[in-house]
């Protein structure tokens, strides 16, 4: 917790408000919140099926699949950004086909969302997979004998049971998306209001105005703490003792 104290001790409180309410800061914060939320939703959309496959099926390539899902965790974000460029960029693997469809991702907010989703997805998948595994499948088996088809079991038993795991996965993904820097910079660029998220803004401010950078960092921290706190408050009270 010391590092936080250290940051706080460096904040120039006299100018704090003016520092964080500058046009560019507000734009960056707004963009960050928007894109992080969209990315979190995308992580849920893609991550829930992945987690289910990893936790509930058993096939030869599964170990490899799990490792690949973890990839963005270990890839330094900048390398991740390069990989994304090679994939979705104009000359990338998919880029040409996307261009034919008239979709242009480069330097757009879409690219920011892709970068954030890419780095945040493993967090959701892993938290959720762990939760699904430790929930076991006894309740699912019971539900099946009560006549519930797999879709119903998923919706009414599996997901509610692993809700705490899903929520903490979402919190983690959101936090990771909010803090994402390297991949965004490399893949999406940095233009105010379009692709320059709060971490990019902080990085840039640091060059000329370290006070502003510190103040913005603190804003980022506060936002993250709020999100995490709220998410944990919304959790349903858990099981019981013996």
Tell which positions 178-207 bind other proteins, by CB under 8 A. Answer: 185-186, 188-192, 194-196, 200, 203-207
Judged by CB, which is closer to other proteins: 184, or 227? 184
User: Which of a copy of itself, other proteins, none does 64 bind, CB closer than 5 to 8 A by kind?
Assistant: a copy of itself
Contact 172, 123 (CB under 8 A): yes
Q: Should residue 9 be labelled a site residue for a copy of itself when binding is judged by CB under 8 A?
A: yes
Cβ count near 225 (within 10 Å): 12
Contact 32, 197 (CB under 8 A): yes
Residue closest to 120 by CA, chosen among 71, 82, 78: 71
Say whether 175 sits in a helix, a strand or coil.
helix
Interacting residues with a copy of itself between 218 and 237 (CB under 8 A): 220-221, 223-225, 228-229, 232-233
List, in sequence order, the alpha helices (H) in 2-59: 2-10, 16-20, 23-56
- Burial class of residue 166, CB neighbours in 10 A (0-12, 13-18, 19+): buried
Minimum distance between the CB of residue 36 and a copy of itself, rounded to whole angstroms? 10
Q: Should residue 143 be labelled a site residue for other proteins when binding is judged by CB under 8 A?
A: yes
The site for other proteins (CB under 8 A) is made up of: 82, 85-86, 89-92, 95, 104, 106-107, 138-139, 141-150, 152-153, 156-157, 160-161, 163, 185-186, 188-192, 194-196, 200, 203-208, 210, 236, 239-242
């Amino acid at each position: 917790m010391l590092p936080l104290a250290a940051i706080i001790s460096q904040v120039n409180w006299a100018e704090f408000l003016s520092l964080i309410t500058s046009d560019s800061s507000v734009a960056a914060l707004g963009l960050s919140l928007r894109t992080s939320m969209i990315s979190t939703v995308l992580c849920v959309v893609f991550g829930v099926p992945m987690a289910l496959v990893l936790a509930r099926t058993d096939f030869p390539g599964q170990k490899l699949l799990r490792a690949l899902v973890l990839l963005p965790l270990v890839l330094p974000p900048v390398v991740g950004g390069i990989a994304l460029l090679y994939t979705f960029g104009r000359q990338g693997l998919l880029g040409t086909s996307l261009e034919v469809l008239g979709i242009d991702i480069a330097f757009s907010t879409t690219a920011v969302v892709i970068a954030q989703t890419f780095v945040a997805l493993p967090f959701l998948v892993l938290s959720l997979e762990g939760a699904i595994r430790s929930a076991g499948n006894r309740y699912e088996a019971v539900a099946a004998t009560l006549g519930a088809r797999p879709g119903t079991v998923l919706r009414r038993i599996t997901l509610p049971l692993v809700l705490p795991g899903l929520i903490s996965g979402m919190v983690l993904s959101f936090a990771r998306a909010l803090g994402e820097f390297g991949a965004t910079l490399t893949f999406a660029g940095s233009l105010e209001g379009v692709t320059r998220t709060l971490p990019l803004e902080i990085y840039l401010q640091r060059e000329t105005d370290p006070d502003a950078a510190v103040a913005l960092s603190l804003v980022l921290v506060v936002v993250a703490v709020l999100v995490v706190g709220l998410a944990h408050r919304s959790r349903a009270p858990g099981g019981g003792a013996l």
